[in-house]
């Protein structure tokens, strides 16, 4: 009886410990030393070539609409992220220019906009809910300015996947850094 109880407790502890594995265990690091950015990404995501599109796009092998992208735009060398506006203002501009113009009836809402600093570099974290007639999506973006470039790192996924993997997706977006 005591042996059975000990085995049961050990199995329960083992199963509990499996759930405590690091969220970064399934993540790889992407580094672009030429453009000066890096981030973590799911090891099931692969690069996709998009003609005249973002600088980089990775998408999931199975759920191809789940993706991350990096867009790099020029800004005057003397401009900072704060010069472009508050997190909410920059989020609204992103919403207006990238997410909203769509004739298919897609609507985007800025859920949150916040600023944080890592090693002296300011980043804005922007969260959007996107409703389309046939699908709900969730977008999370990190925006930074460095060396006359505006970096926009965007993760887009379905509402279903967001509910399953929000913590991992936040880790990915918060890992984005410019150098």
Encode pLDDT of 156-177 as tens digits: 999 999 999 999 999 999 999 9
118 within 8 A of 177, measured Cβ to Cβ: yes
Long-range pairs of 60-63 with CB within 8 A, sequence gap ≥ 24: 63/157, 63/158, 63/161
pTM to 2 decimal places: 0.82
CA distance linking residue 12 with residue 57, whole number of Å: 41
Q: Say whether domain 25-178 belongs to CATH 3.30.420.40.
A: no
Res 25 pLDDT > 70: no
pLDDT at 130 over 70: yes
Radius of gyration of the chain (CA): 19
Helix (H) or strand (E) holding 35: none
């Amino acid at each position: 009886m005591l042996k059975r109880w000990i085995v049961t407790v050990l199995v329960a502890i083992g199963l509990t410990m499996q759930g405590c594995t690091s969220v970064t265990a399934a993540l790889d690091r992407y580094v672009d030393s030429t453009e000066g950015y890096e981030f973590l990404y799911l090891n099931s995501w692969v690069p996709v070539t998009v003609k005249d599109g973002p600088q980089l796009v990775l998408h999931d092998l199975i759920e191809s609409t789940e993706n991350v992208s990096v867009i790099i735009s020029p800004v005057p060398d003397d401009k900072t992220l704060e010069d472009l506006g508050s997190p909410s203002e920059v989020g609204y501009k992103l919403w207006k220019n990238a997410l909203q113009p769509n004739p298919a009836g897609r609507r985007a809402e800025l859920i949150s906009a916040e600023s944080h600093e890592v090693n002296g570099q300011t980043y804005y974290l922007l969260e959007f809910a996107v409703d389309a007639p046939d699908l709900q999506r969730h977008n999370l973006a990190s925006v930074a300015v460095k060396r006359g470039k505006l970096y926009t790192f965007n993760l887009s996924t379905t509402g279903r996947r967001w509910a399953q993997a929000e913590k991992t997706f936040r880790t990915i977006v918060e890992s984005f850094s410019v150098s």
